[in-house]
Each structure stands twice: as C-alpha cells, then as structure tokens.
Amino acid sequence: MNTKTFAAFVGPSIFLMLLFIAAPLVSVFMQSFYVTQPVFEQVEVETCTPGFPNQTCVTETKIQPVLGEDGKVVTDVKYVGLESYYNVLEPDRAWAALKVFDFDALLTIDFWKALRFTLTFTLVTLPLVIGVGLAIAITVNNATRMIRGPIIFVSLLPFIITPVIGALSIRWLFIGDGIMTAFLEWWLNQDIAMFAQGWTIELLMMFYRVWHVAPFAFLVFYAGLQTVNQDTLESAVIDGASRWERLRYVIIPHLMPLIVFVSLIHLMDSYRVFEEIVGFSSQAYRISLQWLTYDLLTPDDSGNRSISRASASAMLTMIGIVVLLIPLLRKTWRDHKGGRV
Amino acid sequence: MSSPKSMQQPMALQLTSVGFLAFWCLIAAFPIFWIAVMSFKDPIDAFASNPLSVIFGPETVATGRGLSIVSIVVGIAFLWYTVHLALTLLPKMVNKYTPPHLLVPGWIIGALVFAIGFLIVFAGILPPVLGAVNSILGPLGKPILGLTTEHYKAVWVENAFYENFINSMIVTVGVVTVSLTVGTLAGYGLARAGSAGSFIAFWILIIALVFRALPHSVLVAGYLPPFINSAEILSPILGDAAPTLYGKPWAVIAVLVSINQPFTIWMLRSFFQNIPNELDEAARVDGCTHFQAFRWVIMPVMWPGVITTGLFSFLLAYNDYLVCSLLLDAQNQTMVPAIAGYFNRETTTTDQVEAVAAAVSIIAPLFLLIMIFQRQIVSGLTAGAVKG
C-alpha cells in the first residue's frame, strides 16, 4: 500500500482526531491563562421625578456593561497568568488549614473536597470490584453449563444500562421510605434517612459503582478462566494441593495480567466519576473532580460560564491522569520496544 | 465433559456457590426489575414501604385500573407467542425477502415492522377486547394486579418525551454511522500498512489509553467557547452562512465520534488483522483498486467486527450525559440529560413516578439490545483484555 492510499484511508480519522481532540486540549490550556470579562463603565445618570415647585432630580453613578454597536455586551480578554489556578486551588486557605491539621476546613474548598472524594472512591471500590468479579467468575465457571448463559445475561444488565439511570434506580429503592430504607429500619431498629448526610450517600455511590463494574470484571476473568491449563491443575491435585491452594497458586497467577488490566481500567474510570453525582444528586455533600469542571461550565444564575476556572480545573484533573498513566505508558512502551505490540 | 472424582466438589461448596450466584443475580436484576414495576403503579403504591403493596398495587386496583386473572393469562400467552414468532417466523421472512448483500438493513426493517405490529396488537387491540371480556366474566374479570400506563402517557404524550427520543436517535444513529465509516477505513488502512502501520497503530493505542482515562469534561471545556462563538469565528470563511455550533446535534455527533475514534480504530484494526491478507491480494490481482478490494471483498466478511464495534459506539452515544447536556440547549436535548429535568423537579410524587417511567423507557431498548447481541457484547469486552 503506497503512502497516498494509506493517507486516503487514514486521513479522515486523523483529521477528526486533530480537530476535536488535539485542538480542544490546546485551547483548554490557553484558556486557563486568560479571563474573558464584560467591559464595565461608570456613568452618571440623572433621574428626575415630577415635584413642586421644581422637579426633584437625583444624580447617581452606576456601573453598567458597555454595549457595542450591535447591541451586545462588549467583552475583553485579559491575560491573568496563574490566577485561575489560584482561584481553584486557594493555596492560602488550604495551607492555613493544613498547618493546624484542620481537615474539615481544608474540605470546605471545592477542589480539595472533590479530590478527597475522588481518591477515596477510587481506592475503596477497586478491591471490591476485583474481589466480587473474581468470586462470580469462579463460581460461574464451576457451575453447570446450562445456567451460564442466563447468568451472563443478568450480569450484563447493570453494566450496560445508562449509568445515570442505574444510579437513579438504586436511589429510588432508598429514597424517603422506599422499601430498602424500610427494610434497613426494620432490621437495625432505628430511624434511617439515607440522603440526609454525606457518608451514607457516599456508601450508596460506592455500592452503585461496584454493582455497575463487577460484571465487567467477571466477564474478563471468566474468559481468562477458560484458558487455565488443566494439566497444571491436575498435577496440583496429585501433589495434594487443596482447593484453596489451587486457587491461590495456579488460578490467581494465571489471571494476574487480567487482574492488572481490570484494575487499570477501573482506576481510569473511577477517577472520572461523574454520573453518580448526577444520579444521587449528591452535589450538596459530595462532588468529584469531573463534576467540579462540569459545574463551572454550566451557566450560573446570571447565565455566565466560568470558562477560565473550568479550564484551570480541567488542567489540574489532567495532571492527575498523567500521574495515573505514567507506569502504564512506560510498560506499553517497553512492550513496544520488545516488539510485542 | 466429566471431571475426575478428585476434582468434584463437595456438597457444601456446591450449595454455597449456588446460593452466592442466586444472591448475585438478585442484586444485579432487582433495582432494574423494581423500577419497572414502580413505573406502572399509582405514586402511593410505587413509593410504599411494603414491597407487596408495590407489586400488587392496592391503591391502583382500588381506582379500577388493573389486570384480572384472565388478562394476565392472555397477556402472558400473547407475549410467549410473540417471542416464538420472533424466533421462527421473523428470520424466515427476512431471509426470504432480502437479497444477501442487504441482510443488515433487511433485519433492521424486519425488526421494526415486527415491533410496530406487536405494539399495535398489544397496546391497541388487546386492552379494549380484554376490557369487554372482563366485564362479562364477573368475579374472574375483577382486577387483582394494579397496573396503569398513565405515567408513560404523561411522559411521552403530554411532556413530549418523543422529541428527546428523536434527538437521541439522531445523535446515536449519526455517531454509529460516522464512527464506523471513518473507523473502518482507518482500521483497514492501518492493518494493511506494514511497518508504518504498526508504528502509527502503537501511537493510536497510546492515545486510546489516554482517552480512556481523560475526563470528557476536560474536552468539553475546550469545545464550549469556540462552539458558542463559532458564527463569528467562521464568518470570514463561510460568510453569513456560518453556523453556531452550540446546540446543534451534528456538532455533538462530531464530538462523540472523535472522542470514541481511537477506541474504534483500535478494535477494528485487530478485527482486520484476523482477515487474511491473501483475500485482498487476490482481489488486487483481479484488477481491483485498494478501495474496490475493501468495498467488495473485505466489507462482506467483516460484519462481526463492525457489529461489535458499532454496539460500543451506540452505547457511548446513547448513555452519554455530560457532552449532550453541556453542548445541546434545552430545546433539543437527548433523553438521558432530559430525565435530569424530571427528577430534579420532583415536586409531587406523581412527578417522581413520571421520572421512573421515563427512566424505564430509556433502558427498555438496552434490554432488547443485550438479548439480541449478548454474544457480541461479551466478545467485544473480553477481546481487548485477553489479547493483551
């Protein structure tokens, strides 16, 4: 295939990716250093009301946006350097809180609050997803062939359905005096309101995430279990290995690359946790890094979007991704050098 | 396959694993099953604390809306017969009336006709007929299971949810078509490009990895200002015809296609690599250009890969909340962001049940999708992992 045909085949795709992936990233980087604001001017306005003998006139200075010739508000773009980053991170307040170990004060700053939640969420759900996925895969693999299809079908449900709606469906079980809340109240014999405090919502969000991702882990591990070497297993039996030892020393090492794979995918996905915040309407209690950017991008009450701060927060989120991905990228690079990819 | 005696499981272990699997299936399906039940009840029943009153809906029955034993039996028989027809008659008809190279459009049309016919009979003809039968039967015809479709009517007819549905369809169909067209070309090109291809493919893998992790809000922060001001930015080139990209479904299509592009290319490339090179070499010897070889020789044998990749593009576009809610305005919102309007409103319990009904309407197509394409979804999910 010569270069021209190759370009004709690959060109459209490269063009799309450059225009809609590379360009926006550059533009986010630039935006985070600039602020676009409407231009304001001071005007003296004299308002008169009829009176006797003379009309009463009041002169006041007003600040109002300048309107251009086309009747729109004139805006100007100003270079502000790192100010937007400063506004997102609020290092002074954060440092003051850190110096006296006052974490509650630190967590009143949106960015740190979001970072705390995102990290806790990621690290708590990771072992649960791996554990539950592995448990289901091993039991399904031991089960009779007939029931495997239906179980895979049922397991796919939480994974495939729209994340926002998956979160909503769990929320509706607990909302108000919903059946699950009623059940918990009967069981624990105390009054429960799941959506009145932060930590219960956080628990529900984590439960949702495990419910949503465990099927994926299950399917990947299940596919891996089909390739376990039966001879090794049999010789382990002959050597007198118990069921647990076979699992520990034969099956788990065989699945190790897949466990790493699922962990990485899960780390990346839960780092950008977002749908849970929407589904459980938890923004008053718990927010995530991606939600922070989203919130800054949504128009506020006066219809303005804080693009600059959103870009700064987006860039900070990106730094997290890079830190997360460096080990993975290095491994891929080594494999590539070794000629495996 | 009979396993040796030493590998057989003790009774206790078998019981535990059956119990565990049953428990998992219950947890996996219960929330979805439950919102489906809730959506057919009066608000008082739907949010009752006693599960039995949610299932049987005494309040809904009390107002005379419900199913009698006869209706339930007839309904189940009809559903069973429909499934039977879908598995026997539908494939026969599709195979009979469509020429082999148009099999996929043929299936789509066949399934649509079948679904419309089913809806007409099930929602249009059965209820009045059964109503008449029930009034004759007396005690047997008394409703015992509360069921009302008024929330669905309120959502779809009064609140014009079909507009959101149409927008969702535009976006998903657009994303799937464009992403597969561009993606198959690039995937094929990369799979057949030799060493240059493997170099670029490696970088695409890296980009695909980074994009798996990149929060979409980062990209949207880059799109928003140019999209809102695009009329001004593009006017030197396009003059007065310069469009404002913000709020346009096709702009969202372009964005979603690009976000998903690295993943699509990566998947399609590995499918193309499994198609032997000799096939297109033979076509080239017979005088085809590269493009003709691709169109007439490769395309007919690559459907499995295209369907699997298309499914994942579909899911991305259909399930997307973030991009659509930021780049589309309220007038042409897709279904998933539109539902946020329902549950945030939540002033009355009726609103809540309407939100439930809207949610069930959104996931019903996905349910069908899993039933039809279970094998492709599973193979797509595991292919990437097992190949490494």
DSSP A97-157: HHHTT-HHHHTTSHHHHHHHHHHHHHHHHHHHHHHHHHHHHHHHHHS-GGGHHHHHHHHHH
Q: Which of A190-199, B100-109, B217-226 has the lowest mean pLDDT?
A: B100-109
Any idea which residue has 């909503």 for tokens?
A168
Residue B2 confidence class, pLDDT cut points 50, 70, 90: very low
Q: Which of B372, B25, B34 is nearest to A155 (CA)?
A: B25
Residue B5 confidence class, pLDDT cut points 50, 70, 90: low
Q: What's the rounded Cα separation, in Å, for the pair B338 and B166?
A: 12
- A143/chain B closest Cα distance in angstroms: 8
| Rounded percentage of chain B residues whose pLDDT exceeds 70 | 91
CB B15, CB A137: distance < 8 Å = no
- Chain A contacts in chain B segment 129-188 (CB below 8 A): 182-183, 185-186, 188
- Chain A contacts in chain B segment 240-269 (CB below 8 A): 254-255, 257-259, 261-262, 265
What is the average pLDDT across A133-149?
A: 85
Strands of chain B (E only): list them: 66-67, 145-146
**pLDDT of B241:** 67
Q: What is the pLDDT of residues A160-185, one digit of tens each?
A: 888 888 988 888 888 877 788 888 88
Residue B188 confidence class, pLDDT cut points 50, 70, 90: confident
- What's the mean per-residue pLDDT of chain A? 82
More confident residue, A137 or A190: A137
Q: What's the rounded Cα separation, in Å, for the pair B262 and B309?
A: 12
Query: A192 at the B interface (CB within 8 A)?
Result: no
Which residues from chain B sit within 8 angstroms of residue A151, using beta carbons? 21, 24-25
Q: What is the pLDDT of residues B83-121, one digit of tens each?
A: 888 877 777 877 777 777 677 777 788 888 888 888 888
Which residues from chain B sit within 8 angstroms of residue A179, using beta carbons? 34, 48-51, 54
- A194/chain B closest Cα distance in angstroms: 14
A252-271 and B194-213 helices cross at what angle (nearest 10)? 60
Burial (CB count <10 Å: 0-12, 13-18, 19+), residue A136: buried
pLDDT above 80: residue A245: yes
Q: What's the rounded Cα separation, in Å, for the pair A301 and A298?
A: 10
Would you call A341 and B205 a contact, using CB atoms and an 8 Å cutoff?
yes
**Beta strand pairing call for A56-65 and B145-146:** unpaired
**pLDDT of A95:** 79
pLDDT above 60: residue B387: no
Would you call A219 and B382 a contact, using CB atoms and an 8 Å cutoff?
yes
- What's the mean per-residue pLDDT of chain B? 79
**pLDDT of B239:** 67
Query: B79 at the A interface (CB within 8 A)?
Result: no
pLDDT above 50: residue B346: yes
Would you call B386 and A223 a contact, using CB atoms and an 8 Å cutoff?
yes
CB B180, CB B100: distance < 8 Å = no
**pLDDT of B347:** 67
- Chain A contacts in chain B segment 12-31 (CB below 8 A): 13, 17-18, 20-21, 24-25, 27-29, 31
Strands of chain A (E only): list them: 34-38, 40-49, 56-65, 75-79
Would you call A166 and B31 a contact, using CB atoms and an 8 Å cutoff?
yes
